[in-house]
Amino acid sequence: MVSQTPYRWKIAVRKATLVLVTRNEGKTREYALLFKGLPLEIRALSEFDGVPEIREEGDSFEEIAIGKARQATRLLNIPAIADDSGLEVEALGGAPGILSARYGGEPSDDARNNRRLREAMRGKDNRRASFVCAIAIAKPSGQTLIYTGRCTGEILHEPRGENGFGYDPLFFYPPFGRSFAQLTAEEKSRVSHRGRAMMRLIDDFEALMVWLDAP
């Protein structure tokens, strides 16, 4: 699990502050677990008054994550971390993709999204799918870093499990023999698309902290 990995920094690492660009409670909980043990103070977007809605613009997970992080860091004048993630299903040509959160229509609703996915997959033999995540960190100067992760599994015919959020009840992870919604938060953080992107960030953590300190 990411949060239990022992870190020994080769450099003196001060504590840095980042704003997490999300109002999704499930995602906020996942990040709290992923960041545990790191010298970071994470402040949720909801802690700041008067912040307008952060727009999602772009044609890829990477572009959208970068755009959200840059908007937030400009508004608040502190470094921001944002991600964009979603589900790519082979039999649906990569859909729902960047539209994953709104696949069932507006406003975003997990149950409606899952119903539409089940309907779209009716009669499909190829159930292969991947969760994809892009994490962007932006500074007020506009400089940005990006980290990506991917987790491959299969789409179930029926939902399983009560944990997680989003498409987790329909996403079966073969190495564990369970859906994401049947995993504990700790199990999911080890193998999820977001956890894998975070591991790349952690592998780069010393350089990241130097980069945050630079003008």
Residues belonging to the active site: 84
Q: Is the dihedral of CA 11, 17, 23, 28 positive or negative?
A: positive
Nearest CA among 166, 191, 194 for reference residue 25: 166
Residue with tokens 């772009």: 58
The length of the chain is 215
Whole-Å CA distances, 198 to 30, 38, 68, 215:
11, 11, 18, 24
Q: How many CB atoms lie within 10 A of CB 184?
A: 11
